[in-house]
Structure 1
């Protein structure tokens, strides 16, 4: 049973995680193209045909929001007795794929729900090839038959923070679900297990653990998994780097040198560990080969750890889609803390099921 204070804390962490990831995403997009400046601003420099304005997010935020949509629908579907979260998340990711192909929302699609009707999500923001290939048909990748078995970039990790928000689940199940959904597009073990580790770290933070302890929890979950060594090594280097002196861009670049999924995760964890505040951590994360992905990963970690009030107001003020992100975050928090009031027995659930149809 959730008390009022617990509900408020959880909502703040959910909001912080999703908004922090989006701020970092916008910052990383801008950092890839920005001229040197005294203080980075999210999305400060536009790229023709992709990110168009300060605060603009990329495909990573778009896909993260659809992950949340899929998880809400999975929770609602428990009422029907037909519960398979990887399928609901895959369907949600396919709805995101439609936004990358269609000109705008298709009102004839009964399964759209409210999120897929948001026109701003139909802007195509340079999604990487493994995402488009993996989600381009209805076949769902599995651990045994993953999509894109050589894809080792951070594309699956960047959408995996929402799995960590399932606070009622045990950490090993959170990691398992994140990994099962990662292979819908990224079959390389390092990419898949980086997604698992990231979700477990977020899960620990939302449950109130310090970041270093949350990383140790993720390492424990990873240990039995075949092929976990590159991810465990990268996270170990991130933890060890904290003791090597004052943080600087060179150390971040060194952690992310190879540019793979585990490297982006390590750089993000390090920046979150040494951050004086969210602004400092995200600015650090823009260094090196993982500058496009580490800020988003770092932002979600810091937001889940400290809650929404820790995020820089000036960056929030110009964040694209902020109202949608907040609305979705609050819906997720309500679904997890008060499901019986939304669609329990004897409850009129029409409005909720129109938002999150599960037929």
Structure 2
């Protein structure tokens, strides 16, 4: 069992964020292409490096954008709770600050909506790559439109009990990794992952996989092996209503590992990754495959479907387990927002480590 009392290892926090960005950028040019077309262009095992696409070589999508806004808001929430005398990381301020951060990101998508009077996301809003339209999901946009119309940006509209829409898309799952940073108990990470996803994805198969993602990251950052983290997350999943599709998808992924070599053909039997349950299953199957980190991440994106999201989730898991240096240097150096992710990871490690900054003005999140 991992030592759930320990703090997240800084290199694994960095690895989780970088890995998600790398998987996103690796998979983005493949999204929507059939496996045959991917292999024709990139070989039998998919691309071994970033390829040029409409936003450039190594460019991220909305997956990494929203993951970064999630991480920023959670650091902000934890620091605010500490300043108010509360226990850090308990999540009481988190949903409102998450929604405010997402609405700031929303402004970068070119959508028309009422001014909110509140800025979320801090310095992230000054990063051009994070405030341009990079293929945002329709469910996310629709849910944020509904939230924006109320003009109450820090009052969460969607919760698991009172959903904002009924989407089971993977848009809530792919941004949930930071929900595991500040919680040593997988149960707390699972709950926060669900709450973060339910802001835009109200179907249980849209927010419960986000809980699985967050719980696995929580355990991995604190020393768990991948199989162990999956077991802990599945135990949490069993306690929540509406879990059938996600449980079955993860069960299929687990059993598929024993049916022969890990191949894109087998991976595709898990679906296309468009829904939360499919995306987490594909990412888990690839992360648990034999081989090095590079081959596993290539497997995660080499399929007919939502390759950037499955790559991002798998990259989060692999990075949380093995750290930043497990990824090839050509990927780390070629990632569009690598320096911003490194800066954000430092802020996360400072806030969720053993000695969080006492001075809000000197906090890495504010610098």
Alignment TM-score, normalising by the size of structure 1: 0.87
Range 136-145 or range 90-99, more displaced: 136-145
The answer for the alignment partner of 1:3 in structure 2 is: none
| TM superposition shift of 1:27 | 1.0
Matched, 1:331 2:331: no
Picking from 142, 149, 159, the partner of 1:142 is 159
User: Residue 81 of structure 1: CA displacement?
Assistant: 4.6
Q: Does 1:350 align with 2:350?
A: no
Q: Work out whether residues 24 and 61 of structure 2, in 8 Å CA contact, stay in contact via their aligned partners in 1.
A: yes
Is 1:80 paired with 2:78?
no
2:205 is aligned with 1:201: no
Q: Which moved more, 1:58-67 or 1:82-91?
A: 82-91
Shift of residue 211 of structure 1?
0.8
Consecutive unaligned residues of structure 2, counting only runs of 5 or more, are 1-5, 87-91
Out of 317, 320, 334, which is 2:336 matched to? 320
Equivalent of residue 101 in structure 2, options 78, 92, 95:
92
RMSD, matched Cα = 2.4
Structure 1 unmatched ranges of 5 or more: 1-5
Shift of 1:234: 0.9
> Would you say the 8 A contact 1:178–1:199 is kept in 2?
yes
TM-score by length of 2: 0.85
- Post-superposition offset of 1:14: 0.4
Quickly say closer, same or farther: Cα 1:58–1:275, change in 2 above 3 A: farther
Shift of 1:70: 0.5
1:28-43 paired onto structure 2 within 5 Å: 28-32=27-31, 36-38=41-43, 40-41=47-48, 43=50
8 Å CA contact 1:41–1:315 kept in 2: the answer is no
C-alpha deviation, 1:246, in angstroms: 1.1
Aligned residue pairs, count: 336
The alignment status of 1:216 with 2:225, answered yes or no, reads no
Aligned to 2:3: none
Question: Hey, what does 1:24 align to over in structure 2?
Answer: 23
1:162-216: CA deviation from partner (whole Å, max 9, x where unpaired): 1112243x21111111111111100011111111111111112112111111111
Output one character per residue of 1:10-31: Cα deviation in whole Å (capped at 9) or x when no partner: 1110010000000000111022
Task: Tell me how far apart the structure 2 counterparts of residues 226 and 42 of structure 1 sit (CA, whole Å).
Answer: 41
Cα distance in 2 between the residues matched to 1:111 and 1:59: 16
Alignment partner of 1:176 is 2:187: no
